[in-house]
Chain A
Amino acid sequence: MTDKPKKALVIGGGIAGLTAAWELAQSQVDVELVEKSPFLGGHSISYCCKATDECVKCGACSVDKMLAQVVSEPRINVTLGAAVAKVDKGGKFTASLDVAPAYIDAEKCDNCGECFQEFRNTGAVVRGYSKNNTPLYAICADAAKDVDAAKLAGVCPKGAINLDAKATKKKINADTVVVATGFTPFDATKKPTYGYGVRDNVITGMELEALIRQKGQVVRPTDLNPPAKTAFIQCVGSRDARLGNLWCSQVCCAYGLRMARKIKYANPEAEVKVFYMDIQSIGKNFPAFYTQCKEELGFVRNIPVDVYPEEEGRMRLSYADEDTGERKDEIFDLLVLSIGITPGEDNAQVAELFSLDQDQDGFLVEKGEGVFLAGTAAGPKNIPASMAQAGFAASEALKYIGVTK
């Protein structure tokens, strides 16, 4: 083939964007992958393995696997810390990017982690979640303002830190675009009665994922001990008419029950209760999985409204007993809010840039020519469904640019 290879622009480096980029590259298309944050992988790169004595098919390991493939694929060129400022369409797409300063020089950094060790408590240096993130560390400009700049610049034995690095601009020409900008996790402070952000032992499902990934087990934020009693509250921010969030997030029953069982598996003495409206079927063998859940966990069909502080960082929940209808009070060591998926915070802007529509909930809808959607940008989805949609988006993009019919 003598034709110049076609080029695709993929916006967003979560599992959907990674998968789309990978599939396009497999069809000999050059890919420009643009990610806003300093790390590839999106939300799900921070998730933990939820296996007990066997894999429970949560899909978290698939994200690491895909990321490893993408970073070693020469056809995919990654730009981190980049935002699309403008898009011109005249037959082709020309995207103008604003690229954040690269304070850590990827060429020089060998991921030794000295900077992180020294500055992790200040927040000035942050670490990615996967070994396949290169560099594995990034400087957070805001937090870096509060630390001794000379000390921060000097901490790196390789001289890779340059705090004078400047923001740059970049132009990318592409024949087609895949938008995979993902979701925004529900902000749990919008349900203030749960005391998220006020009480340390109230955490979100997202935080629990990262906690297990990093520590290998569940511990209470305040005393770092395994909690004896944990409560999960489902549907936080989803299926909530008062918030106007009239959708099921499709993932929180899955991750909630899987992590609840993981806690119980690591510590059979622990007690775990799940407060819910409806439990959603997840995965191929859900009936068997759910039967095990019912044996190991407590289930209460009631979403508690108020959380009261108790001694030693504990919390008391009040709820109506399912059988008697009477008020019940119960004290927990750790409260996990199963937060859901809400439309990406950039959706309005992304829609404008790439001529997309938004549905009544704010998720993106395809409209323009040559722009395809993948993953949670288009609505709630789990990892496998995001991958399937990304593959489909790639195959549609290939048709659009004439690689296939």
Chain B
Amino acid sequence: MNADKKIIQIATDVLVIGGGTAGVAAALEVAGQGYKVVLTSKEDKVAQEAKDGAVADLTAKAEANANIEIMTNTVAADVKGVPGKFEVTLKTGDAAVEKTFGAIVVATGLTTTVLNDAYGLEMGPKVVSQSELEAMLAEGKLEAGKTVAFLVGFGQEGNPLVMQRVLDSLTALTKVADTDAYVFVGDIKLAADGLDALYAQARQEGVIYFKTKETPQVTVGDAMTISILDPVLRQRVEVQPDLVVVEEAILADEDNAALAVPLEIEADNNGFLQPDNVHYFPVKSTRLGIYLAGASRDLLSFEQGLEDAGNVALEVKKFLGDGNLEVPSNTAFVDVDKCTVCLTCYRCCPHGAIYWDSRAIIAESACQGCGICASECPNDAIQLGDYADDAMAQAVKDGQGSAGKSPWIVAFCCKNSGLEAMKMAKAFGYRVPAGLQAIEVPCAGKIDMDYVMDAFVQGADGVMLLTCHNGNCKSDKGALYASWRAEEIKKMLAAVGMPEDRLVCASLANNMGRTFSEISVELERSIKKAGS
């Protein structure tokens, strides 16, 4: 441990990108923490649409807040620098300004697209999208006495946000005189507050739901028909609607992909800016200093966006503090003399912490201490605090002889998963081999091939690499790197005639003490068997 804590000064202004409700709320919450905020909206205004008056209220508060500067028609054209000191180019029309921010909050919105192709339908006056229906209902343009049919859940798997819109429309429809409503639906997605009750209520008001697996057949023309095989009555059912309402998919903002690049954050495969990994809950991104509110991170409701705003403010506060950032002792450091600027580290850092300026530089305010760069650097130019190569080698050496007569098993354990699972196994009295020596690593991606080979050279009877499950690694690919390296090492072991099963690479969660016990005991058993 370094005795002297290193403090660096960082900027404390905060940029909020996105003038929707989550963005406005986030700006207010962050300003409430005492920081100056710039709130940008790519449109000519920030959130106005009234949802129980709450939104207009928020906007009014933001406009009145002296610590919030609202910039409309503005986009973040470029982002440079590092967490604590992001240099952002803000473009308003042709005018560009550069501003420095300590942290950035992204609060982009959602878009919709109508799924008529899934039903082979052309849109027209009698075939409308969910959005068009909502507009008709809002403007009172739906005539009385019509039969309306909804198609939902066949063009997409669907989710409660999609279903909520349908149910809200049904509630409005039942107030229009003499309306008959039919809903053709795959699975009814009700996993959100109040939806099951809305669903039941609409049914009571006479709405008829047909739940089927097959996509309904729709014929359009002067007389439209929808036909399905009714799973309850077990016969073909035909409905002649006056109006067909086609479902819409709700998708991530198209701007997200373009934002992810300069922000150096990882998006998920649906275009949301938070990877599908529980370590980022609720509002973190892969990079320190960048936080996500509402629909920028997932398909979230209005209310969830407001909740996120509160959470974002807590995270911003934890990161920026009073502008004096204490650098953790375990950040990576590049030896200038060894670095050949191959940029391997820049490419593999999962947290956007590395940049270069005639050599690789690691931003202390951004490094999360996973050590992946240190293990991947072909020139051994990077060392990581307590987990430097010599310290790791020493740890193995210290274990020599500790096993006594039992097989000596060196277990490199990710501190987030394997190490916790081992502690659990011990606390619960599950069997753990007597000669097992656990060596903590900050992430399985820090387990060098050298460490493993060295352990064997020192006389270890077995080596374990215990990683998080794929998709649960806090640093994204650390577990994958470990498993790839294990494959390579096994080949090397085979080449020198050593049984490959002496090396075990397994993934665990922190709550898998039982499995830790089983895996390690099994390794011990196979070593003993081979030895006898």
Contacts and interface: CB of A to CB of B under 8 A. Distances in A.
Interface of A: 23, 26-27, 47-49, 51, 53-57, 59-62, 64-65, 68, 111, 113, 117, 127, 130-131, 136, 213-216, 238-239, 241, 246-248, 250, 253, 278-287, 290, 301, 322, 325, 379-380, 384-385, 387-389, 391-392, 394-396, 399, 404-405
B157 A61 contact: no
A227 to B, nearest CB: 18
A246 B195 CA distance: 9
Contacts of A59: 278, 281
Given A62-B279, A387-B282, 5 more contacts: A55-B469, A246-B196, A380-B193, A384-B282, A388-B304
B345 interface: no
Contacts of B304: 385, 388
A238 B195 CA distance: 13
Interface stretch (B87-95, B256-264, B391-399, B509-517): B509-517
A279 B468 CA distance: 29
Contact of B157 (A26, A57, A216, A281): A281
B191 interface: yes
Nearest to B274: A284
B279 to A, nearest CB: 8
Nearest to A291: B157
B469 A301 contact: no
B314 A55 contact: no
Given A27-B317, A64-B420, A379 B510 contact: no
B311 A391 contact: yes
B278 A26 contact: no
Contacts of A253: 191
A interface: dominant SS = loop
B159 A61 contact: no
A380 B196 CA distance: 12
A62 B231 contact: no
23 contacts: A54-B469, A54-B470, A55-B470, A55-B472, A61-B472, A65-B510, A131-B420, A131-B426, A213-B514, A216-B518, A238-B196, A246-B197, A250-B192, A278-B187, A279-B187, A284-B268, A284-B298, A301-B211, A325-B234, A388-B282, A392-B310, A394-B310, A404-B34
Contacts of B20: none
Interface in B273-302: 276-279, 281-283, 298
A391 B307 contact: yes
Given A284-B270, A391-B307, A391-B314, A248 B196 contact: yes
Contact of A113 (B211, B307, B420, B429): B429
Interface in B156-211: 156-160, 187-197, 200, 211
Given A61-B510, A282-B191, A384 B196 contact: no
Given A216-B518, A278-B190, A60 B509 contact: yes
Nearest to A282: B191
Contacts of A127: 428
A322 B196 contact: no
A286 B32 CA distance: 36
Contacts of A113: 428-429
A247 B201 CA distance: 12
B507 interface: yes
Contacts of B281: 59, 62, 384, 387-388
A379 B311 contact: no
B461 interface: no
Contacts of B276: 57, 283-285
Contacts of A392: 306-308, 310-311
Given A247-B196, A248-B196, A395 B278 contact: no
Contacts of B196: 238-239, 246-248
Contacts of A23: 314
A22 B423 CA distance: 23
Contacts of A27: 314, 317
B532 interface: no
Interface in B354-385: none
Contacts of B420: 64, 68, 131
A49 B509 contact: yes
Nearest to B512: A49
B272 interface: yes
Contact of A396 (B156, B158, B269, B310): B310
A238 B191 CA distance: 11
B231 A301 contact: yes
B133 interface: no
B514 A215 contact: yes
A296 B281 CA distance: 29
B424 interface: yes
A387 B469 CA distance: 22
Given A130-B424, A388-B308, A280 B472 contact: no
Nearest to B422: A131
A107 to B, nearest CB: 18
A220 B224 CA distance: 54
Given A54-B471, A213-B511, A392-B311, A281 B32 contact: no
Interface string B460-484: 0000000011111000000000000
Contacts of B197: 246-247
